[in-house]
Chain A
Amino acid sequence: MIWIYYLPVALSGIGGLLCLIPKTRFEEDVSIVASFATLGASILIAFMPDASSFGLYVDGFSKLMQLMISAVYVLTVIFSIHYLDHIENKLFQTNLYFLLLNWFVVSMFFTVMVDNVGLLWVGVEATTVTSALLIATDNNEVAVEATWRYIVIVSTGLTISLLATIFIYGGFHTLSLNALLQAPQATKIVSVGALLGIIGYGTKGGIFPMHTWLPDAHGRAPAPVSAMFSAVLLPVALYTIVRFVQIVPLESVRNFAVVLGSLSVIVASLMAFSQRYYKRMFAYSSIENMGVALIGIALGGNAFIGSVIIILTHAFAKSAAFFLTGNVLAGYGTSAIKDVKGVSKTMPLTGYSLFFASLAVTGAPPFGTFFGELLIMTRMISVYGAWFTILIASFLVVAFIGINYRIVRMVFSEPDGQYKHLDDNATVPIIGLAVALSITFLTPVIYMFLRGVAVK
């Protein structure tokens, strides 16, 4: 039955290949079938035991990641079909778009299931290769510049994590996750490797020192691609960091991760507060969420579960938010916040769900992000004391106020007639929001999945 574990990679890979068949609208049908089949396979895997042979390392956390990737994949494909019609000057044909989208998903599935730190790097770098062109789908100079920054910054950052991989190998003389997680004693060289790994993969995950590509890429990519980036690509990068923290559970490594995570939260909150473009604002919100999740990963225990809850809720809520910004962008033709007025009047479904999505990603109570943050804060008080926790929490509040204030102004104001053609197509985002909300009630299930994984 081991072949079932390979199904997600195989199905989406084949789906990508079939997109090459030049037949009108065929690639869309193929992608829908492939994405649903992948979702089915992921659900099937969720009920199977953990696997750790044949080059696989699939534990509860991997299964959750697979479920998340395939679910967002389904939503993105469905939304893309409709949304691509809004893009006038496309860089390539739609079948190439779907080909890249499918293979982008393949590279992420590959990353979360391989049993080799080296191949983990290969998988993450492959996500760069497959996703770079997607950013430039809307072919204009600014998008191309954003793509270029994405390639250069992320590739450079990932060379650091390759260095980290070499250090890990130098310390343990093996790269297999199975062997590494059971390795007896972490040596000094390995801790250097883990620190470098956090910086390197942090680049991809939008963690502080090298997060600068993220707002550019998210702000300029077409809505479904931004959704994919924010919802699943960043968590996949965090997945690798989780593995590094698991391999080297030293105090220094954790403190380092907490510092980087806190800096990400602080920088992102301040930047989100002063944004003039709504997609960039949500991009900074992603950095903030990933920062909080990284803190949780570093703290371990219940905080790690909190991180996973944040990651999952954020994935669905943020993808919904980006889909909706796509609708707004298509309707109003501008990405500046001040030019968008009265979305709730012009596009009622989009407007109200955008409001709820914005609440969800900033950590408002009924959503999982709030409970995840609560779990992390609780743990943080016991480890780092109350003052530090209050500092981080106050920056979260800053981001909450900044983002929601702007979204409220966009949604509940009087429309001033500055819109082109309105297309209030919000089915997919509403489904996403519903899933995001339901994660709150699925917390026991998540806990069950993570029982064997918990970061020590």
Chain B
Amino acid sequence: MFNLNEIFILVGFIQIALVAFMQWQIYISSVIKTFSVGSYFLAAFLLAAGYVNGEPYLMVLGFLTAGIRAWFIPGFLSRMLRRDRWRARELKPVLGIASTIILSLLFAVFGYVIYTWTMYDYVHSAFGAIPVALFLQGAFLIISRSNPITQLIGYLVMENALYLFGSLFPELPFVVEAGVVLDVIGTVMISGVIVRLKEEPAQNTEVEDSTRREDFTELRG
């Protein structure tokens, strides 16, 4: 009924397009929403894979993904936004938005090239290029933005890419997947605390980029 390969390609490229879309968005809340949409697609893929292969284990994983990556984590992150949600945004992008969008695309292409040159012979699946591209795009999202929540989203995009990559192989042990999910939740929670701490002084002093200040000299070199 379904062709899993096609669903994989569809979901993978939707994710890549969504990351490019995140690069476009200045407002944090829309980045979070975009991530949520991407995770729902991932969950849908896992459900479809579980249905086609007749494996309840994958379907459980799909529901877990929908619940945690698509619903809980984005909800948690948008509650982190202290100011009005529609106003929280990237104050000073490191690069121009248009150039970061193009660079993100180039990273995807780079991922594809790297994959076909180095790993394709071992994995024997052309589709592996999609998660690798997504992985590099997530890394670039972290580099190109200075807002901590967007950086966290970049990390989660990388995690999603690995999830997608893992689904290319016969199923990983469930304990491992569950442990990974637990760790991701833990990381997000801890980061939430740190994000709050980071935003507090920024709010009081209205200094946009606090890392340029005098007390931060120690962190250089």
When A and B assemble into the complex, do they touch directly, with CB atoms less than 8 Å apart? Answer: yes
Tell me, yes or no, whether A170 is within 8 Å of chain B by CB: yes
Are A169's CB and B179's CB within 8 A? no
Do residues A122 and B180 form an inter-chain contact, with CB atoms below 8 A? Answer: yes
Q: Do A159 and B155 touch (CB < 8 A)? A: yes
Chain A, residue nearest B191 (CB): A151
Q: Are B176 and A119 in touch, CB under 8 angstroms? A: yes
Q: Which of B166-205 contact A (CB under 8 A)?
A: 166, 168-170, 172-173, 175-176, 179-180, 182-183, 186-187, 189-191, 193-195, 197-198, 201
Contacts of A141 in B (CB 8 A): 198, 201, 210, 215-216
Give the CA-CA distance A150 to B139 in the complex, in Å: 15
Residue of A nearest to B215 (CB): A142
At the interface, yes or no: A166 with Cβ under 8 Å from chain B? Answer: yes
- Interface membership of B142, Cβ < 8 A: yes
Instruction: Flag if A142 contacts B216 (CB, 8 Å).
Output: yes
Known: A129-B183, A170-B123. A118 touches B194 (CB 8 A): no
Interface members, chain A 86-127 (any B CB < 8 Å): 91, 116, 118-119, 121-122, 125-126
**Cross-chain contact B194 with A144 (CB below 8 angstroms):** yes
Q: By DSSP majority rule, is chain B's interface helix, strand, loop, or mixed?
A: helix
| Interface check B20, CB cutoff 8 A | no
Contact B190 A132 (CB under 8 A): yes
B179 in contact with A155 (CB, 8 Å): no
Complex CA gap A189/B169 in Å reads 13
Please state if B187 and A173 are interface contacts (CB–CB under 8 Å). Answer: no
B2: CB under 8 A from chain A?
Answer: no
Q: A141-B215, A148-B194, A271-B221 are in contact. Are A189 and B151 (CB under 8 A)?
A: no
Q: Tell me if B169 and A119 are in contact (CB < 8 A).
A: no
**A-side contacts of B179, CB under 8 Å:** 118-119, 121-122
Enumerate A123-165 residues with CB–CB distance to B below 8 Å: 125-126, 128-129, 132-133, 136, 139-142, 144-149, 151-152, 155-156, 159, 162-163, 165
B125 to chain A, nearest CB (A): 10
| Cβ-closest chain A residue relative to B171 | A169
In the complex, the answer to whether A192 meets B122 with C-beta atoms within 8 Å is: yes
Q: In the complex the two chains form, what is the Cα distance from A192 to B122 in whole Å?
A: 9
| Cβ of B88 under 8 Å from chain A | no
Beta-carbon nearest neighbor of A139 in chain B: B197
Q: Which residues of A contact B151 (CB under 8 A)?
A: 152
- Alpha-carbon separation in the docked complex, A331 to B190 (Å): 31
Determine whether B107 belongs to the interface, using a CB cutoff of 8 Å to chain A.
Answer: no
Contacts known (A144-B194, A188-B122); A118 close to B219, Cβ less than 8 A: no
A129 CB, nearest partner CB in chain B, Å: 4
- Indicate if A335 sits at the interface (CB-CB under 8 A): yes
Query: Which one, B118, B121, B191, B211, contacts A145 given CB within 8 A?
Result: B211
Q: Are A126 and B186 in contact (CB under 8 A)?
A: yes
- Give Cα distance in the complex from A183 to B81, angstroms: 50
Q: CB distance A192 to B216 under 8 Å?
A: no
A156 — which chain B residues lie within 8 A by C-beta?
139, 142, 155, 158
- Contact status A121-B180, CB under 8 Å: yes
Given contacts A141-B198, A159-B155, A220-B218, 14 further A-B contacts (CB under 8 A): A121-B179, A128-B187, A133-B193, A139-B197, A145-B210, A152-B142, A159-B158, A166-B162, A166-B172, A169-B169, A170-B123, A187-B122, A192-B119, A335-B218
CB within 8 Å of B: which residues of A? 91, 116, 118-119, 121-122, 125-126, 128-129, 132-133, 136, 139-142, 144-149, 151-152, 155-156, 159, 162-163, 165-167, 169-171, 173, 175, 187-189, 192, 216, 219-220, 271, 274-275, 277, 280, 335
List 23 A-B pairs, Cβ < 8 Å.
Answer: A118-B179, A121-B180, A125-B186, A132-B194, A145-B210, A152-B152, A155-B155, A155-B187, A156-B142, A159-B159, A162-B162, A162-B180, A163-B162, A166-B169, A166-B172, A167-B122, A169-B172, A170-B122, A170-B123, A175-B173, A192-B118, A275-B221, A335-B218
Question: Which residues of chain B have a CB within 8 Å of any CB of chain A?
Answer: 118-119, 121-123, 135, 139, 142, 148, 151-152, 155, 158-159, 162, 165-166, 168-170, 172-173, 175-176, 179-180, 182-183, 186-187, 189-191, 193-195, 197-198, 201, 210-211, 215-216, 218-219, 221
Question: What are the 10 A-B residue pairs with the smallest beta carbon separation, nearest first?
Answer: A118-B176, A122-B179, A189-B122, A129-B186, A125-B183, A144-B197, A159-B158, A170-B169, A132-B190, A188-B122
